[in-house]
Amino acid sequence: MAVTRTFSIIKPDATRRNITGAVTKMLEEAGLRVVASKRIHMTRDQAEGFYAVHSERPFYNDLCAFMTSGPVVVQVLEGDNAVQRNRDVMGATNPADAAEGTIRKAFAESIEANSVHGSDSDENAKIEIDFFFSQSEIVG
């Protein structure tokens, strides 16, 4: 299987509880390698741009407010079939539906404050990586 990259965010509910290491450990144990990482406080413009695909959804405003409510850790992850591998370890969007052994089952507080973001396709992974990282910040 091909080694690919995906984009991850450890969300404000996780930075607030000081569990960025615990989340990253689960990513690493799932076979993903952190090849770029930085802690940032997203601006409203960044959050709105990043989640523009959801702009018509009823939760969009609340989501942008949540994502700017505290620091996040943005990461580039590398591994075999990275997008799907990351989605598998993240678990379902709603923690009530998330399988045992997933990050959201272990840590998510709610369907909104669900601890992690992960790209949903190779195409979006590239767009999302480029949104937050320059090539020189990614060291594989």
Binding site for Mg ion (CB under 5 A): 120
Angle 80-47-16 (CA atoms, 0-180°, nearest 5)?
80
Contacts 24+ apart (CB under 8 A), 120-127: 120/83, 120/87, 121/83, 122/4, 122/83, 124/7, 125/4, 125/5, 125/6, 125/7, 125/82, 125/83, 126/5
Binders of ligand IDP among 50-79, rule CB under 6 A? Answer: 59, 63
Let me know if 117 is a catalytic residue: yes
Using the rule CB under 6 A, is 93 a contact of ligand IDP? Answer: yes
- With CB under 6 A as the contact rule, the residue among 34, 106, 111, 138 that binds ligand IDP is 111
Marked catalytic residue, from 95, 117, 125, 132: 117
- With CB under 6 A as the contact rule, the residue among 117, 125, 132, 133 that binds ligand IDP is 117
- With CB under 6 A as the contact rule, the residue among 88, 120, 122, 137 that binds ligand IDP is 120
State which residue, 50 or 133, has the beta carbon closest to Mg ion. 50
Q: Smallest gap, in angstroms, from Cβ of residue 136 to ligand IDP?
A: 28
State which residue, 9 or 35, has the beta carbon closest to ligand IDP. 9
User: What angle, rounded to 10 degrees, do the helices at 20-29 and 82-90 form?
Assistant: 130
Distances (CA, A) of 108 to 69, 77, 99, 135: 16, 20, 12, 31
| Contact footprint for ligand IDP (CB under 6 A) | 59, 63, 93, 111-112, 114, 117, 120
Any idea which residues carry the catalytic annotation?
117
